[in-house]
Amino acid sequence: MPTTLVFNDHFEIPFSVDSLDAFRAWMQGDEAPENGRVDYLSGRIEVDMSPEELFTHGKPKVELSAVLGMLLKRIRTGHLFCNSTRMANAVAGLSAEPDLVFVSHAALDAGSVRLVPKASGAAEQFVELEGSPDMVCEIVSDSSVAKDKQRLPICYFAAGVREFWLLDARGQSLEFVIHRRGVSDFQPAAIDESGFQHSEVFATSFRLDRQCDERGHWEYDLRIQNETPQSECR
């Protein structure tokens, strides 16, 4: 009887990984895959080994990380993580690695989010966020359209996430939406006359712009309302 499922010769998923707890233990162990994105969504293991597109995924993620990171250095309300930061929520049956995830100090103090330590128990070393982060952001790739736009929002809402940011830069029109919690699902925030959307999590409003550089590649600019863009500070 087979004991593992081999995924494209990249790694093996043991058949014993049949629950959220088993999945989390596997992902924290030595046999966890080193590449790709592997998520557990309501009893379903989803694997995406597609390479990250540079200018419609990598570049906007760098921009959001940089601007939000600098904002948080000023307001000091929590921690921003990106790239392979795993979050889990038992109520939603979820274990995923969002493109970005923000956890406030208030959420940590209240116990709605817990830092999961490494199995070794090493002091101040953590490998997972457990609970309800304040914000998660997903950037859509060709291989993740249905997951990012349909399945993950349902799971994140069930997990108690306060805001879900969705960014799709693949087409000629840029899609950037800040979603807030509604009664039963996420609802898009209103867009003001200047194109800004308000984030209750960060207590400010944002607009994402982009333009081609001199080589024809996309450059992104996450603007904070009432702040002068760096390109104009000269």
Residue 67 has a pLDDT of 98
Give me the residue spans of the domains in the chain. 52-232
Residue 1 has a pLDDT of 38
Residue 123 has a pLDDT of 78
Residue 229 has a pLDDT of 60
Is the Cβ–Cβ distance between 96 and 40 less than 8 Å? Answer: yes
Residue 233 has a pLDDT of 44
Could you please state the CATH topology (level 3) that the domain comprising 52-232 is classified under. Answer: tt1808, chain A (3.90.1570)
Structure tokens at 108: 């940590």
Q: Which residues neighbour 166 within 8 Å (Cβ) at sequence distance 6 or greater?
A: 137, 138, 140, 148, 149, 153, 175, 176, 177, 179
Q: Give this prediction's pTM.
A: 0.91
Residue 125 has a pLDDT of 92
pLDDT tens-place values along the chain, 234 residues long: 344 455 555 678 888 899 999 999 999 888 788 888 999 999 999 999 899 999 999 999 999 999 999 999 999 999 999 988 999 999 999 999 999 999 999 999 999 999 999 887 777 899 999 999 999 999 999 999 999 999 999 999 999 999 999 999 999 999 999 999 999 999 999 999 999 999 999 999 999 999 999 999 999 999 999 876 654 543
Task: Assign 17 to helix, strand or coil.
Answer: coil
**Direct distance between the N- and C-terminal alpha carbons of the chain, in angstroms, rounded to an integer:** 68
